[in-house]
Amino acid sequence: MRISEQKIEQIKLSVSIVDIISEFVQLRKRGKNYIGLCPFHNEKTPSFTVSEEKQIFHCFGCHSGGNVYKFLMEYDKISFVEAVQELAEKTGVDLELETNVHDEQQNELEEYYELNNIAAKYFSDQLLVNNDGESARKYFEERKLNLKTLRVFGLGYSLISNNSFVNFAEEKELDFNRLLTLGLVGKSEKGRLYDRYPGRIIFPIFSPNGRVIAFAGRKLDEGTPGGKYINSPETPIYIKGRILYGLSHAKDEIRKKGIAIIVEGYMDLLALVQNEIKNVVAVSGTAFTEEQVRLLSRYTKNVTLLFDSDAAGINASMRSIEILLDQDFEIKIATLPKGEDPDSFINKFGKTKFQGHLAKAQNFFEYQSAYYEAAGMFNDSGKTAEAIRELVKPAALIKDELKRSLLIKTIAKKFNLREMLIESELNKAIKNISKLETSQQRRTNIKANIEQNEFSKKSNSISLIHLQTERDLIKLLFEGDVEVVKYIFDNLNVEDFSIELHQEIVRKVSNHFSQKENIDVSLLLDEFIDEKIELYLRELLFDKHSISSKWEELLPDSQSEFKLLNYTVEVVNKMKINLLDKLIQKNMQNLELVDNEEEKFELIKLGNELKTERLNLIKETK
């Protein structure tokens, strides 16, 4: 599947990167750019920058960046084609896919999706129509799941009988190498292929877009060998810990209600959805991962945790609280009577009673202090101090100062303590967090500096001022002003740039410009396949290497176009002076080498001409 370049351009032009990223990241304006907290690494002070003018983003912390497609690809973990499709849907641009042209990588991913689809359909058929699927049907009947739910969530069954899926795949001539990668079949040491999920209930796992990306197989009866669950391995289309079960079905409802209910298991989720409670996702592990929280934050920042009331469930809640607070979530925790989980509870007591429990959900502070209280930690003073320290820890993760001080007041009031005391505990906790963060930040900075040095090593014979002139020229090329670009290419060649890195960038721009007669920064950036060059360029465009203080003064002006061209002339002149300096130097070296008087005279004449030209340029520039 391939999408034409014009379409890719058309779609990109019909949106603003600021609008799109704003859906996921809170941005605020600073100067020409927008800044916010980076969604790709953990940070408390914003280093994530978006340029409306250039339609690209860049993070000074983790160095991620690119155009709007790149953002969606990284954020959603989707392919380029999917990112284009997602934007096309948003903007209403009609995408006629040209399927006859091959895009190998994308085709390969599509084949994995297709195989998962075929397998899901196969397992579903075994559950719904095969005589041998009786035991599985019975299981779901006992768990009170109806046909509609089984269908909507694509539930299935893998027969116990000898390698029925392998046989099916052979019959259909499916690609066994890919089936192995997907973990749908296994291979013995002797090379014999076998079913990976025999005798198991199959839960297909969907991507947020609703595609089958993995499977979870649950033991139907205790006699089945292996653990309670067997899951897909990581594959080209599935990364563990980045998926929330049920999200593709729940996302609209979550947006509508403005809140998500988080449960532990598949069956919990299915039971709630069948009872018309649809804003539910399952973590299907023990606690939230950071990536799951990030994924969820696209739809809401409000959650109610509804984990089992056993020790494992409480632990999972406690750990989830920190991850959620760290990403600015509002958290409520609902508890069910001991021994019940959402699945068993709603089937026994019905929807109304269930919603009653949801309504009684506590905020995380109430929940945690109740927990410590129940554990007897407030009975002696030593343990009380420990409990308070534990309670203050999550408060340190709250970024909103007002919310934080409200919480401090609550804690102080509840335990009859002076606020000052709590505050000093809180400050300690905050210090610990920021220590951790700055050391992380430092590490990434060091890495960037090393890469930076690789470039400068090659350029150490060239003066810093000269390099800055070249950088300014490259920046000018990316200002999106046709006149400016034209002027530069009329006056300078690619070879005039002194280091290879700059030459490569200028060459690409020149090719792009001669083909399109304009400069689309965000598209052009995609043409730099070498990540180091792309990063260098992005940092340059976001002013990391800017020494010239003129730059900022130049642009916000109403006559900026005029000023920009003037400035371009000035920089091009500087560049020419640099080039002349080189020629003059070379000329003097040559002069020392020749003995012939006539040649000497010619060289002196040439040298004088060069010097006059240089002088004129200097006069012009002043």
Q: Which of the stretches 26-34, 41-49, 549-557, 612-620 binds Zn ion when contact is defined by CB under 5 A?
A: 41-49
Least spacing, CB of residue 61 vs Zn ion, in Å? 4
The residue from 10, 16, 24, 41 that contacts Zn ion (CB under 5 A) is 41
Three-state secondary-structure class, residue 494: helix
Query: Could you tell me the two tokens for 332?
Result: 């409520």
Spell out, one character per residue from 62 to 81, where the chain touches Zn ion: x when CB under 5 A holds, - when not: x-------------------
Nearer to Zn ion, 41 or 219 (CB): 41
Least spacing, CB of residue 64 vs Zn ion, in Å? 5
Distance CA 44, CA 556 (A): 29
Contact 46, 37 (CB under 8 A): yes
Least spacing, CB of residue 48 vs Zn ion, in Å? 6
Element (H, E) at 58: strand 56-59
Nearer to Zn ion, 57 or 528 (CB): 57
Q: Which of the stretches 31-39, 210-218, 400-408, 517-525 binds Zn ion when contact is defined by CB under 5 A?
A: 31-39
Least spacing, CB of residue 303 vs Zn ion, in Å? 24
Q: Does 57 bind Zn ion (CB under 5 A)?
A: no
Contact 425, 388 (CB under 8 A): yes
Only one residue has tokens 């709603």, namely 346
Instruction: Report 290-319 residues binding Zn ion (CB under 5 A).
Output: none
Least spacing, CB of residue 59 vs Zn ion, in Å? 3
Q: Which of the stretches 60-68, 208-216, 268-276, 502-510 binds Zn ion when contact is defined by CB under 5 A?
A: 60-68
Distance CA 564, CA 463 (A): 25
Helices H, strands E: what count in the chain?
26, 16
Least spacing, CB of residue 585 vs Zn ion, in Å? 44
Q: Does 21 bind Zn ion (CB under 5 A)?
A: no
Q: Does 38 bind Zn ion (CB under 5 A)?
A: yes
Query: Could you tell me the two tokens for 301?
Result: 């920042």
Spell out, one character per residue from 90 to 129, where the chain touches Zn ion: x when CB under 5 A holds, - when not: ----------------------------------------
Least spacing, CB of residue 40 vs Zn ion, in Å? 4
Query: Could you tell me the two tokens for 358?
Result: 């949801």
Q: Which of the stretches 19-27, 59-67, 94-102, 407-415 binds Zn ion when contact is defined by CB under 5 A?
A: 59-67
Q: Does 40 bind Zn ion (CB under 5 A)?
A: yes
Q: Which of the stretches 37-45, 93-101, 184-192, 211-219 binds Zn ion when contact is defined by CB under 5 A?
A: 37-45
Contact 151, 157 (CB under 8 A): no
Which own/partner contact pairs does 603-611 have at CB distance under 8 Å and 24+ positions apart?
610/580, 610/583, 610/584, 611/584
Nearer to Zn ion, 62 or 395 (CB): 62
Residue among 133, 149, 186, 437 nearest 267 (CA) = 149
Q: Does 25 bind Zn ion (CB under 5 A)?
A: no
Least spacing, CB of residue 62 vs Zn ion, in Å? 3
Nearer to Zn ion, 41 or 507 (CB): 41
Give the type of residue at 11. I
Distance CA 100, CA 123 (A): 31
3-state helix, strand, coil in the chain (%, to 5): 60, 10, 30
Least spacing, CB of residue 290 vs Zn ion, in Å? 13
Q: Does 61 bind Zn ion (CB under 5 A)?
A: yes
Distance CA 130, CA 160 (A): 12
Q: Which of the stretches 57-65, 349-357, 499-507, 607-615 binds Zn ion when contact is defined by CB under 5 A?
A: 57-65
Least spacing, CB of residue 509 vs Zn ion, in Å? 26
Q: Does 219 bind Zn ion (CB under 5 A)?
A: no
Only one residue has tokens 């997602």, namely 86
Site size toward Zn ion (CB under 5 A) is 6
Secondary structure of 211-228 as H, E, C letters:
CEEEEEEEECCCCCCCCC
Residue among 419, 417, 394 nearest 405 (CA) = 419
Q: Does 88 bind Zn ion (CB under 5 A)?
A: no
Contact 46, 52 (CB under 8 A): no
Least spacing, CB of residue 18 vs Zn ion, in Å? 17
Q: Which of the stretches 51-59, 273-281, 480-488, 497-505 binds Zn ion when contact is defined by CB under 5 A?
A: 51-59
Least spacing, CB of residue 83 vs Zn ion, in Å? 19
Q: Does 59 bind Zn ion (CB under 5 A)?
A: yes
Nearer to Zn ion, 73 or 474 (CB): 73
Least spacing, CB of residue 326 vs Zn ion, in Å? 15
Residue among 564, 428, 390 nearest 485 (CA) = 564
Give the type of residue at 25. V
Three-state secondary-structure class, residue 282: strand
- Between the CA of residue 165 and those of 111, 121, 155, 197, 199, what are the distances in Å? 18, 11, 16, 9, 12
Nearer to Zn ion, 35 or 318 (CB): 35
Contact 566, 555 (CB under 8 A): no
Contact 236, 181 (CB under 8 A): yes
Q: Which of the stretches 35-43, 240-248, 396-404, 596-604 binds Zn ion when contact is defined by CB under 5 A?
A: 35-43
Binding interface with Zn ion (CB under 5 A) = 38, 40-41, 59, 61-62
